[in-house]
Amino acid sequence: MHIGMDDTDSTKSGCTTYVAALLLEKLIKLKTEFTDYPNLIRLNPNVPWKTRGNGALCLRFNYEQELVDTIKETALDILETNADLEAKGTDPGIVFLNKSNIPKEITAFAKKAMTGIVTLKEAVRLITKYKAEAMGYNKCRGVIGALAAIGENLHGDHTYELIAYRTLENRGTKRRIDKNSIMNMDQQTQPCTFNNVDYEKKRVIITPRGPDPIFFGIRGETPEIVKKAFRLLKPKETVERWLVFRSNQGTDAHLAEAGALSAIQPYSSIIAKGTVSRKPTKIPLRHTIFSIKDETAEVDCAAFEPTGTLRKIAEQLVVGDVIEIYGAVRKRLKTERLTVNLEKINIITLSPKVVYRNPICSACGKRLESMGKDKGYRCKKCGTKYRKAEKTGSIEERNLNLGLYISSTGSQRHLTKPFRRYGQEKKRMEESNLIEGWHS
């Protein structure tokens, strides 16, 4: 059986991974045999109705046939007890699928749910066709994510995350953990763990800030490495329970090749190539905006202040540079071009940067000053005037290298592949390998 769940949380409380952890403990007591780690599947980060990280969960296991009703009743009871059903915008969903192999249509549905927009109607059609069962609450949008979590079997690149949870009395308070132990853990486990610390912003990022039950999460390449990292930490409050998930986090699974710029759609996450067509400008709050174009269209690109180095790189681009952009496409307003919120920039070729300066006085060698538009120049030192002089251009050396630039660690989406993971991608799923002590 595959049980998919989504959207049990709200902006104020709850966490779908925690609901999955509670259900897993109940299922183990029912003598089920898990065939995989619980799957934490991050879906399209650009959907406007997501709660936080847009993560859906799937549990996969074998069971005795006489337990089927008990399993489903247990799952529904845990979801209803722990989901924030009264919160606006919380639309939980759960899907049960009894099949050894996931149908290709459901796998394709999952891929679409990671890169674009899918509808509840599409999900219901597939649930009906393949004789799955589903329960939705409120607007039932969680059914979409629940089915997508089942469909993403992680047979390609994947990572692991050990998530530790807080006791009930500590939720809503500041998380207490020894910062030096996090730094030490990161140094001892790199490059096999990632996104523990944002060194650019000097900030720990394994601990969330909200009132949800998560204490911290450690992401890495194997179950063994995240467990090793866990043992190196020194929490200053009690860990209620912890669990290792297998995930698509840090894999760039949300990004799809757009081809032509005219083909990109709002709410999608894309990779696209173009030539810088409008020089970067700063807007309030230190964000940087520029444009790129190809033979089919022109789009705006935004590097926001939290992206750190990426914004600084964007500032140095000039018209004519050929780049590849990675990012999320914002909804178009009537008066605007489409805008891509940048996650990465790959600089392919650099155009010469020509800098124009006022001409030099032929009498004394000093640089002239303008007398106003179309009025020529004069020398402030000797007073000589030049009615027909023009600015002179020279090529300025650029302190910018070709290659890939990624937003600062703390501003990266859950799905964004960080530098540490390049070269460590998995080409296929390893054999099911549940290490001893993968939950507590």
3-state secondary structure 187-223: HHHCCCEECCEECCCCEECCCCCCCCCEEEEEEECCH
C-alpha 374: how far from chain center: 51
> What are the start-end ranges of the E strands in 235-268?
239-247, 256-259
Q: What angle do CA 73, 9, 74 make, to 5 degrees?
A: 10
Instruction: List C-alpha distances in Å: 390 to 357, 362, 365, 369.
Output: 9, 13, 16, 11
Q: Could you give the angle at the alpha carbon of 45 between the alpha carbons of 39 and 48, nearest 5°?
A: 125
2.130.10.10, 1.20.210.10, 2.40.50.1010, 3.20.20.70: which CATH number matches 256-350+399-412? Answer: 2.40.50.1010
Q: What would the CATH number be for the domain defined by 159-252?
A: 3.90.600.20
Please give the chain's pLDDT, 440 residues, in tens.
999 999 988 767 788 999 999 999 999 999 899 999 999 999 999 887 776 678 999 999 999 999 999 999 999 999 999 988 878 878 999 999 999 899 999 999 999 999 999 999 999 999 999 999 999 999 999 999 999 999 999 999 999 999 999 999 999 899 999 999 999 999 999 999 999 999 988 899 999 988 889 999 999 999 999 999 999 999 999 999 999 999 999 999 999 999 899 999 999 999 999 999 999 999 887 899 999 999 999 999 999 998 989 999 999 999 999 999 999 998 877 667 899 999 999 999 999 988 888 888 877 878 888 878 778 888 888 878 888 887 877 788 888 999 999 999 989 999 999 999 999 999 876 666 788 888 88
pLDDT at 244: 98
Residue 228 to residues 21, 193, 199, Cα–Cα distance (Å): 20, 10, 22
HSE value, Cβ hemisphere, 13 Å, CA-based, for 5: 28
Q: CA dist 205 to 20, 182, 194, Å?
A: 23, 10, 10
Alpha-carbon gap, residue 299 to 276, rounded angstroms: 10
Check residue 334 and give its pLDDT: 65
What pLDDT, on a 0 to 100 scale, did the predictor assign at position 284? 81
* Residue 376 backbone class (left: φ over 0; alpha: ψ -120 to 50; beta: rest): left
Alpha-carbon distance 414 to 403, whole Å? 22
What are residue 256's DSSP bridge partners?
Answer: 270
8 A C-beta contact, residue 204 and residue 185: no
Q: Dihedral angle at the C-alpha atoms of 360, 363, 365, 367, nearest 10 degrees?
A: -40
Alpha helix ranges (H) inside 233-358: 309-315
Q: What angle do CA 26, 141, 63 make, to 5 degrees?
A: 25
What's the CA dihedral at 94, 97, 103, 109 to 10 degrees?
0
Query: In angstroms, rounded to a whole number, what is the distance separating the alpha carbons of residues 420 and 197?
Result: 12
Cis peptide before 266 (omega within 30 of 0): no
Place of tokens 């679409």: 112
Strand order in the sheet with 377-378: 369-370, 377-378, 385-386
- In the prediction, which pLDDT does 432 show? 60
Which helix (H) or strand (E) segment holds residue 55: the answer is: strand 55-62
Output helix, strand, coil percentages for the chain, rounded to the nearest 5. 25, 30, 45
Under DSSP, the state recorded for 373 is T
Q: Which of 338, 316, 291 has the alpha carbon at shortest distance from 405?
A: 316
Strands (DSSP E) found in 66-201 = 93-97, 133-136, 159-166, 193-194, 197-198
Spatial distance between the Cα atoms of 270 and 254, rounded to a whole number of angstroms: 8
CATH 3.30.70.2200 fits 2-151, yes or no: yes
Quote the strand ranges of 109-199, DSSP E.
133-136, 159-166, 193-194, 197-198
